[in-house]
Amino acid sequence: MPDYTLRVNGAQRTVRTDADTPLLYVLRNDFELNGPKYGCGMAQCGACTVHIDGRAARSCVTPVSSLAGKAVTTLEGIGTPDKPHPLQKAFLDEQAAQCGYCTNGMIMAAKALLDSKPNPAVADIKNALNGNLCRCGSHNRIVRAVQRAAGVKA
Partner 1 sequence: MQTTLNTNRRQFLKRTGVIVSTFTLAGPAAVVPQTVAPLPGGLNANRMLDGWVRINSNNTVTVFTGKCEIGQGILTALTQIAADELDVTYERVEIISADTARTPNEGMTVGSFSVEQSGAALRFACAEARAMLLAAASKKLNVAMEKLSVNDGTISASPARMTYWDIAKEVNFKREATATFKPKPAAQHKIIGKPVPRRDFPAKVSGGAAFVQDLRLPGMVFGRVVRPPSYRATLQSVDEAAVKALPGVITVARDGNFLAVAAEREEQAIKAAQALRASARWTEAPDLPPSGGAFFDHMRKMPARDMVIKATSPATASGGKVTSVEAEYTRPYQSHGSIGPSCAVAQMKDGKLQVWTHSQGVFPLRAELSRALRMKPADIVCTHAEGSGCYGHNGADDVAFDAALVARSLNGRPVKLQWMREDEFAWEPYGSAMLLKMHALLDESKQIVSWQHEIWSHSHNMRPTSNPDGIAFLGSWHLTDPARRPTPVNGPQPNGAADRNAVPLYDFPRQNVLLHFITDMPVRVSALRGLGAYANVFALESFMDEIALAAGEDPVAFRLKHMKNPRARAVIEMAAEKAGWKPNAKNYGAAPNIGRGIAFAQYKNLACYCAVVADVTVDRNGMAKVTRAVAAVDAGLIINPDGVINQIEGGIIQSASWTLKEQVKFDRQRITTRSWADYPIFTFNDVPQVEVHLINRPDERPLGAGEGSQGPTVAAIANAIANATGKRPRDLPFTPEKIRALIV
- Strand ranges, E, within 85-145: none
Q: Binding partner 1 by CB under 8 A: which of 101, 112, 147, 148?
A: 101
Inter-axis angle of helices 103-116 and 139-150, nearest 10: 40
Q: How far is the CB of 141 from partner 1 (least distance, A)?
A: 8
Tell me which H or E stretch contains 64.
none
What would the x/- binding string for partner 1 be over residues 58 to 97, using CB under 8 A?
Answer: ----------------xxx--xxxx-x---x--xx--x-x
Phi, psi of 47 (to 5 degrees): -65, -25
Cβ proximity to partner 1: between 52 and 79 the closer is 79
CA distance 3 to 106: 31
Interface with partner 1 (CB under 8 A), residue from 53, 115, 135, 151: 135
Contact map string, positions 4 to 43, toward partner 1, x by CB under 8 A: -------------xx--xx--x--xx--xxxx-xxxxxx-
As measured in angstroms, the least distance from the Cβ of 50 to partner 1 is 11
What is the layout of strands, in order, in the sheet containing 3-8? 11-16, 3-8, 71-73, 49-52, 55-58
Going 137 to 139 to 144 to 145, the CA torsion angle's sign is positive
Residue 35 CB, nearest distance to partner 1 (Å)? 4
| Residue 17, helix vs strand vs coil | coil
Provide, rounded to whole angstroms, the least separation between the CB of residue 51 and partner 1.
13
In 3-state terms, what secondary structure has residue 127? helix
Q: Site residues (CB under 8 A) for partner 1?
A: 1, 17-18, 21-22, 25, 28-29, 32-35, 37-42, 44-45, 47, 74-76, 79-82, 84, 88, 91-92, 95, 97-104, 107, 125-127, 129-143
